[in-house]
Amino acid sequence: MIAYLKGKILHQLDRVIVIVHDVGYGVHVSASVLQKLPQDSEAELFIYTHVKEEALELYGFLGPEEQLVFQLLLDVSGVGPKTALQISNYSPSEIISAVQNAETGFFSQIPRIGKKLAQKIIIDLRSKLGALKELDLQPLAPHVQEVKEALLQLGFHERDIETVLPKLGDEVLSTPAALRIALHHLQPK
């Protein structure tokens, strides 16, 4: 198993080639890692080796913390290496915070992750990373769901919307009134 590579970096579309003693290793990296690795520079990557029946793939990370979070994500049923790599675009501290605070919106904004998988990630990882907030699995009230859908159509990020929805309170408001309150909280101060 390959666990670490140090060498010259050559960029390709969604991966890099690390040249170590005249041998080029193709390594999949997240977009954030790709930006931090200058072309033709010397770099070191911590490697996760993923073995499938038809292929052996390498996934690279700048530090052992990123690699560990990636491996924890792979332990979640329904999360494969490509999805875990997309989540790895965020820092380990952001991912851990999202798990501890039960932020389903953080994960569901990532392509191929719906609300159910986001909840599953949080439930599976919170025993390993700790929980600061309980996960709310209750469906949203109809007027709150309408507000959420309207805000999504207006271009707000689901993560921001999820932080505003609890501020609408338990009282049943008309959808326009609830939308005004939510927009007030989402406006830059």
Which of residues 61, 79, 98 is at a domain's end?
A: 61
Domain count, the chain: 3
pLDDT band of residue 165 (cuts 50, 70, 90) is: confident
Residue 158 in this model has a pLDDT that exceeds 80: no
What CATH number does residue 107 fall under?
A: 1.10.150.20
72 and 118 together in one domain:
yes
69 and 46 together in one domain:
no
pLDDT in tens, 88-146: 999 998 998 888 888 888 999 998 899 899 999 999 998 887 654 555 555 666 777 78
pLDDT in tens, 15-54: 899 999 999 999 999 999 998 998 888 999 999 999 988 8
109 and 84 together in one domain:
yes
CA distance 11 to 45: 14
pLDDT band of residue 154 (cuts 50, 70, 90) is: confident
Residue 169 in this model has a pLDDT that exceeds 60: yes
The answer to whether 65 and 47 have CB atoms below 8 angstroms apart is no
* Beta strands, E only, 62-184: none
The predicted pLDDT at position 84 comes to: 95
The predicted pLDDT at position 8 comes to: 95
Tokens of 147: 């507000």
Locus of tokens 């979640």: 76
- The CA-atom distances, in angstroms, between 18 and each of 6, 28, 152 are 7, 11, 40
pLDDT in tens, 68-82: 999 999 999 999 999
What is the domain extent for residue 73?
64-129
CA distance 164 to 182: 6
Residue 135 lies in a domain: no
The predicted pLDDT at position 140 comes to: 66
pLDDT band of residue 13 (cuts 50, 70, 90) is: confident
What is this structure's pTM?
Answer: 0.69
pLDDT band of residue 175 (cuts 50, 70, 90) is: confident
105 and 154 together in one domain:
no
